[in-house]
């Protein structure tokens, strides 16, 4: 089942059903303990339609916008309409990875895969010859037909530790060490804590997965604990406000609940800081968290609202992260409340970065309003204007018309220091 965000993006981009490609991506990243994406070409950029890491969906990456020049092998695969491998691999952060990009003509998408090389084992010339590449291609073809290149499966597993391959008669054709028990697994891809399995009529491949606990030390541990405690304190305040709201008049209840939601926004920023490895908030993850909340609140009011979050990776300082979180929350919730009645609607949060300047836009396809009749005392938009102009030293522009939705655009400089 595709994440709801990917389904919404699929409709907006006019893509055919790419669930088979998504299943292949999930299986390939699970078996290789790697990560990958499905990219769609939009102008001079690639949009991440869906992403997976070790078989799990990476929802915070859905909608990410990157220049094509940042994905040279994906661009090459798109132009040549074939599979392109990085012959010497790539360096992702400090980790060397094997990298490839494959054009999927059935879906008009490019699949990229990054396979960590840290767990590679050195194969002898005989082992290299015995590695069942042909059988793995048959397994891939049986699972995904011609919709995903069969060569990706043997490429992603060659030289990887913990891999075992059986033929259609369940005879072990490849594996180093004691093979796992795979009886009872159903056809298709299965991911568990300790094993990933792809089972088909022509054969089965499995990969043992070992968990690696992460240990935080020194300053990172202290910083994380401070943000965690601030988040807990803010959540306590939210709980008190909601409790007070239960015993208040309707007018007071609305004010208290709105205040609680605004405080919860800042708690979210501290939660992300507590879980991050640095002193920055990732804009995509922040926007996605706020969008998910707004969807739930809209559903409680009987509205079917969907979100699309599109933009490159941008790290924000804690101060700017809190300000931008408050701005997005106000704009998104205003759209949920006023842009739609009971019909289905789509709200898009999109941003682009040019040097040190960020352009952020929140738009909807709702009923719109007559801009000249806008009441300047509207609390949500007043908050947004004050935050943009005073805290970010930026500019805000609002455009709307009856029947054509509303678009709010912001421009401001990104701080580089904490």
- Decide if pLDDT at 261 tops 80: no
Mean pLDDT of 4-26: 92
| Helix, strand or coil, per DSSP, at residue 249 | coil
Mean pLDDT of 118-124: 81
Sign of the dihedral through C-alpha 50, 53, 55, 60 = negative
Q: How far is CA 370 from the centre of its chain?
A: 35
Radius of gyration of the chain (CA): 24
User: In 47-178, where does DSSP find H-type helix?
Assistant: 72-80, 125-130, 133-144, 152-157
- Decide if pLDDT at 276 tops 70: no
Q: Of 279, 303, 318, which residue constitutes the final position of a domain?
A: 279
Same domain, 19 and 166: yes
Check if the beta carbon of residue 19 is closer than 8 Å to that of residue 144. Answer: no
The predicted pLDDT at position 155 comes to 96
Same domain, 337 and 351: yes
26-35 per-position pLDDT tens digit: 999 999 999 9
Give which of 350, 316, 281, 289 is closest to 65, Cα–Cα.
350
The predicted pLDDT at position 225 comes to 63
- Residue 301 class from Cβ within 10 Å (0-12 exposed, 13-18 middle, 19+ buried)? exposed
- Decide if pLDDT at 151 tops 90: yes
* CATH code for position 158: 3.30.450
Same domain, 18 and 54: yes
Please report which helix (H) or strand (E) contains residue 207, including its range: strand 203-208
Same domain, 53 and 201: yes
Same domain, 367 and 382: yes
43-71 per-position pLDDT tens digit: 889 999 999 999 999 887 888 888 898 89
Portion of the chain with pLDDT greater than 70, in percent: 90
306-328 per-position pLDDT tens digit: 888 898 888 888 888 888 988 99
Angle, helices 318-338 vs 283-300, to 10°: value is 30
Q: Of 246, 279, 312, which residue constitutes the final position of a domain?
A: 279
Same domain, 201 and 76: yes
Q: How many separate domains does the chain show?
A: 3
Ranked by mean pLDDT, the top range of 124-138, 259-273, 275-289 is: 124-138
Residue 213 pLDDT level (bands cut at 50, 70, 90): very low
67-81 per-position pLDDT tens digit: 898 899 999 999 999
Please report which helix (H) or strand (E) contains residue 201, including its range: none
Same domain, 260 and 119: no
Mean pLDDT of 114-126: 85
CA distance linking residue 184 with residue 193, whole number of Å: 16
Same domain, 275 and 287: no
The predicted pLDDT at position 217 comes to 42
- Decide if pLDDT at 149 tops 90: yes
- Decide if pLDDT at 227 tops 80: no
Mean pLDDT of 195-212: 88
Same domain, 175 and 253: no
- Decide if pLDDT at 163 tops 60: yes
Strand partners, 166: 172, 204
Question: Torsions phi, psi of 362, nearest 5?
Answer: -120, 120
Mean pLDDT of 223-248: 75
pLDDT higher for 96 or 170? Answer: 170
Same domain, 295 and 253: no
Mean pLDDT of 324-344: 83
Q: Of 152, 175, 208, which residue constitutes the final position of a domain?
A: 208
The predicted pLDDT at position 216 comes to 36
The predicted pLDDT at position 214 comes to 44
Check if the beta carbon of residue 160 is closer than 8 Å to that of residue 110. Answer: no
- Decide if pLDDT at 224 tops 80: no
The predicted pLDDT at position 73 comes to 95
Question: Residue 117 — left, alpha, or beta (φ > 0 → left; ψ -120 to 50 → alpha)?
Answer: alpha
Same domain, 250 and 390: no
- Decide if pLDDT at 270 tops 80: no
Same domain, 308 and 266: no
The predicted pLDDT at position 8 comes to 87
Ranked by mean pLDDT, the top range of 81-95, 276-290, 316-330 is: 316-330
Residue 418 pLDDT level (bands cut at 50, 70, 90): very low
Average per-residue pLDDT for the chain: 85
- The full length of the chain comes to 418
* Domain enclosing residue 358, as ranges: 282-418
User: In 247-344, where does DSSP find H-type helix?
Assistant: 250-275, 283-300, 318-338
- Decide if pLDDT at 212 tops 50: no
């Amino acid at each position: 089942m595709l994440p709801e965000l990917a389904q919404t993006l699929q409709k907006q981009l006019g893509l055919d059903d790419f669930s088979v490609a998504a299943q292949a991506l999930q299986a390939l990243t699970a078996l290789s303990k790697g990560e990958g994406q499905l990219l769609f070409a939009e102008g001079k950029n690639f949009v991440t339609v869906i992403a997976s890491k070790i078989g799990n969906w990476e929802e915070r990456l859905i909608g990410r916008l990157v220049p094509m020049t940042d994905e040279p092998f994906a661009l090459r695969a798109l132009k040549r309409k074939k599979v392109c491998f990085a012959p010497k691999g790539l360096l992702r952060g400090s980790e060397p990875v094997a990298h490839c990009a494959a054009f999927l003509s059935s879906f008009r998408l490019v699949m990229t895969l990054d396979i960590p090389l840290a767990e590679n084992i050195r194969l002898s010339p005989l082992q290299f010859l015995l590695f069942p590449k042909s059988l793995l291609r048959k397994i891939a073809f049986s699972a995904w037909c011609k919709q995903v290149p069969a060569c990706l499966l043997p490429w992603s597993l060659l030289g990887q530790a913990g891999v075992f391959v059986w033929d259609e008669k369940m005879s072990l054709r490849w594996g180093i060490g004691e093979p796992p028990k795979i009886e009872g697994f159903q056809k298709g891809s299965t991911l568990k804590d300790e094993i990933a399995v792809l089972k088909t009529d022509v054969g089965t491949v499995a990969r043992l997965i070992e968990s690696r606990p992460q240990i935080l030390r020194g300053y990172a541990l202290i910083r994380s604990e401070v943000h965690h405690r601030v988040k807990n304190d803010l959540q306590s305040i939210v709980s008190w406000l909601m409790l007070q709201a239960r015993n208040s008049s309707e007018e007071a209840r609305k004010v208290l609940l709105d205040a609680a939601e605004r405080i919860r926004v800042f708690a979210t920023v501290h939660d992300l800081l507590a879980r991050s490895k640095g002193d920055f908030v990732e804009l995509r993850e922040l926007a996605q968290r706020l969008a998910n909340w707004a969807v739930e609140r809209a559903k409680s009011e009987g509205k079917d609202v969907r979100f699309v979050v599109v933009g490159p990776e941008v790290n924000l300082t804690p101060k700017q992260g809190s300000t931008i979180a408050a701005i997005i929350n106000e704009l998104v919730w205003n759209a949920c409340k006023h842009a739609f009645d009971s019909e289905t609607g789509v709200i898009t949060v999109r941003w682009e970065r040019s040097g040190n300047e960020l352009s952020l836009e929140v738009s909807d396809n709702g009923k719109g309003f007559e801009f000249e009749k806008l009441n300047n005392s509207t609390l949500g938009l007043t908050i947004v204007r004050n935050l943009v102009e005073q805290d970010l030293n930026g500019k805000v522009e609002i455009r709307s018309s009856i029947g054509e939705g509303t678009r709010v655009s912001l421009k401001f400089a990104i701080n580089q220091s904490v």
